[in-house]
Protein backbone atom coordinates (compact mmCIF):
# COMPACT_ATOMS: atom_id res chain seq x y z
CA UNK A 1 0.00 0.00 0.00
CA UNK A 2 1.27 3.44 -0.86
CA UNK A 3 1.89 5.05 2.54
CA UNK A 4 1.13 8.59 1.34
CA UNK A 5 -2.11 8.03 -0.59
CA UNK A 6 -3.43 4.77 0.88
CA UNK A 7 -3.83 3.53 -2.70
CA UNK A 8 -2.39 0.22 -3.92
CA UNK A 9 1.10 0.48 -5.38
CA UNK A 10 1.92 0.11 -9.08
CA UNK A 11 4.51 -2.26 -10.52
CA UNK A 12 6.78 -1.13 -13.38
CA UNK A 13 4.48 -3.00 -15.80
CA UNK A 14 1.27 -1.28 -14.60
CA UNK A 15 1.05 1.10 -17.58
CA UNK A 16 1.66 -1.76 -20.02
CA UNK A 17 -1.15 -3.79 -18.43
CA UNK A 18 -3.50 -0.80 -18.71
CA UNK A 19 -2.51 -0.19 -22.36
CA UNK A 20 -3.38 -3.83 -23.10
CA UNK A 21 -6.83 -3.36 -21.58
CA UNK A 22 -6.28 -5.51 -18.51
CA UNK A 23 -8.88 -5.66 -15.77
CA UNK A 24 -6.90 -4.36 -12.78
CA UNK A 25 -7.60 -5.31 -9.16
CA UNK A 26 -6.04 -4.61 -5.78
CA UNK A 27 -4.02 -7.69 -4.90
CA UNK A 28 -2.04 -7.57 -1.68
CA UNK A 29 -1.76 -3.77 -1.84
CA UNK A 30 -0.70 -3.69 -5.50
CA UNK A 31 -2.65 -2.91 -8.69
CA UNK A 32 -2.39 -6.17 -10.64
CA UNK A 33 -3.99 -7.51 -13.85
CA UNK A 34 -6.51 -10.30 -13.35
CA UNK A 35 -7.60 -10.71 -16.98
CA UNK A 36 -7.23 -9.29 -20.49
CA UNK A 37 -9.92 -8.65 -23.13
CA UNK A 38 -8.70 -11.46 -25.40
CA UNK A 39 -9.44 -14.04 -22.70
CA UNK A 40 -7.60 -16.71 -20.78
CA UNK A 41 -7.31 -19.12 -23.73
CA UNK A 42 -5.45 -16.54 -25.81
CA UNK A 43 -3.17 -15.80 -22.84
CA UNK A 44 -2.46 -19.52 -22.46
CA UNK A 45 -1.76 -19.94 -26.20
CA UNK A 46 0.58 -16.92 -26.26
CA UNK A 47 2.52 -18.27 -23.30
CA UNK A 48 2.86 -21.70 -24.92
CA UNK A 49 3.82 -20.49 -28.39
CA UNK A 50 5.67 -17.23 -27.75
CA UNK A 51 6.44 -15.90 -24.28
CA UNK A 52 4.72 -15.21 -20.99
CA UNK A 53 5.78 -12.57 -18.49
CA UNK A 54 4.81 -12.59 -14.84
CA UNK A 55 5.58 -9.41 -12.95
CA UNK A 56 6.82 -10.46 -9.49
CA UNK A 57 7.48 -6.95 -8.17
CA UNK A 58 4.53 -7.27 -5.80
CA UNK A 59 5.73 -10.50 -4.25
CA UNK A 60 7.66 -10.87 -1.02
CA UNK A 61 11.36 -11.68 -0.87
CA UNK A 62 13.07 -13.54 1.95
CA UNK A 63 16.86 -13.99 1.88
CA UNK A 64 18.71 -16.78 3.67
CA UNK A 65 22.49 -16.27 3.77
CA UNK A 66 25.40 -18.08 5.30
CA UNK A 67 26.99 -21.52 5.41
CA UNK A 68 23.81 -23.10 6.88
CA UNK A 69 21.30 -21.32 4.63
CA UNK A 70 20.54 -24.38 2.52
CA UNK A 71 20.09 -26.63 5.55
CA UNK A 72 17.76 -24.10 7.18
CA UNK A 73 15.55 -23.74 4.11
CA UNK A 74 15.62 -27.47 3.37
CA UNK A 75 13.79 -28.05 6.66
CA UNK A 76 10.93 -25.86 5.38
CA UNK A 77 10.34 -27.10 1.82
CA UNK A 78 9.81 -30.29 -0.17
CA UNK A 79 12.29 -29.66 -3.03
CA UNK A 80 15.78 -31.16 -2.86
CA UNK A 81 17.88 -28.00 -2.54
CA UNK A 82 21.16 -29.93 -2.76
CA UNK A 83 20.38 -30.31 -6.48
CA UNK A 84 19.77 -26.58 -6.98
CA UNK A 85 22.81 -25.00 -8.69
CA UNK A 86 23.71 -21.31 -8.41
CA UNK A 87 21.71 -19.26 -10.89
CA UNK A 88 18.82 -21.75 -10.90
CA UNK A 89 15.38 -21.72 -9.29
CA UNK A 90 12.82 -24.26 -8.15
CA UNK A 91 9.08 -24.01 -7.58
CA UNK A 92 8.12 -25.81 -4.38
CA UNK A 93 5.97 -25.70 -1.26
CA UNK A 94 6.68 -24.96 2.37
CA UNK A 95 5.07 -27.61 4.56
CA UNK A 96 4.16 -28.07 8.19
CA UNK A 97 5.57 -31.14 9.99
CA UNK A 98 2.10 -32.70 9.64
CA UNK A 99 2.30 -32.35 5.87
CA UNK A 100 -0.07 -29.41 5.45
CA UNK A 101 1.03 -26.76 2.98
CA UNK A 102 1.96 -23.34 4.33
CA UNK A 103 2.40 -21.76 0.87
CA UNK A 104 3.83 -22.31 -2.58
CA UNK A 105 6.99 -20.37 -3.39
CA UNK A 106 10.01 -20.09 -5.66
CA UNK A 107 13.54 -20.54 -4.35
CA UNK A 108 16.49 -19.05 -6.23
CA UNK A 109 20.05 -20.09 -5.41
CA UNK A 110 21.98 -16.87 -5.90
CA UNK A 111 25.22 -18.36 -4.57
CA UNK A 112 26.30 -21.46 -2.64
CA UNK A 113 25.49 -19.65 0.61
CA UNK A 114 22.62 -17.39 -0.51
CA UNK A 115 19.01 -18.41 -1.21
CA UNK A 116 16.23 -16.02 -2.20
CA UNK A 117 12.68 -17.19 -1.51
CA UNK A 118 9.91 -15.41 -3.40
CA UNK A 119 6.59 -15.72 -1.57
CA UNK A 120 3.05 -14.74 -2.47
CA UNK A 121 2.24 -11.09 -1.81
CA UNK A 122 -0.85 -11.86 0.24
CA UNK A 123 1.06 -14.31 2.47
CA UNK A 124 4.30 -12.47 3.23
CA UNK A 125 3.65 -12.00 6.96
CA UNK A 126 2.35 -15.57 7.38
CA UNK A 127 5.29 -17.10 5.50
CA UNK A 128 7.95 -15.07 7.28
CA UNK A 129 6.39 -16.01 10.64
CA UNK A 130 6.55 -19.68 9.63
CA UNK A 131 10.18 -19.38 8.52
CA UNK A 132 11.17 -17.93 11.88
When the pLDDT of each residue in the chain is averaged and rounded to a whole number, the result is 92
Domain ranges, residue 99:
60-131
Average pLDDT rounded to a whole number, residues 10-18? 94
User: Residue 3 — very low, low, confident or very high, per pLDDT cuts 50/70/90?
Assistant: low
Whether residue 98 is contained in a domain is answered as: yes
Q: Check whether residue 67 and residue 121 sit in a common domain.
A: yes
Domain match, 122 and 66 both: yes
Cα distance between the two ends of the chain:
24
Give the tens place of pLDDT for each residue, 61-107. 999 999 999 999 999 999 999 999 999 999 999 999 898 999 999 99
Is the pLDDT reported for residue 2 higher than 60?
Answer: no
66-105 burial code (b ≥16 CB/10 A, e <16): eeebbeebbebbebebeebeeeeebebebbeeeeeebbeb
What is the domain-level CATH number for residue 120? 3.30.70.1400
Q: What is the 3-state secondary structure (H, E, C) of 1-18?
A: CCCCCCCCEECCCHHHHH
Asked whether residue 82 falls in the same domain as residue 103, the answer is yes
Amino acid sequence: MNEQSGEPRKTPLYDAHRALGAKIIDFGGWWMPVSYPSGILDEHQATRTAIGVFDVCHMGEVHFRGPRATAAVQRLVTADLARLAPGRAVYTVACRPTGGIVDDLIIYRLADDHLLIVVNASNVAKDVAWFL
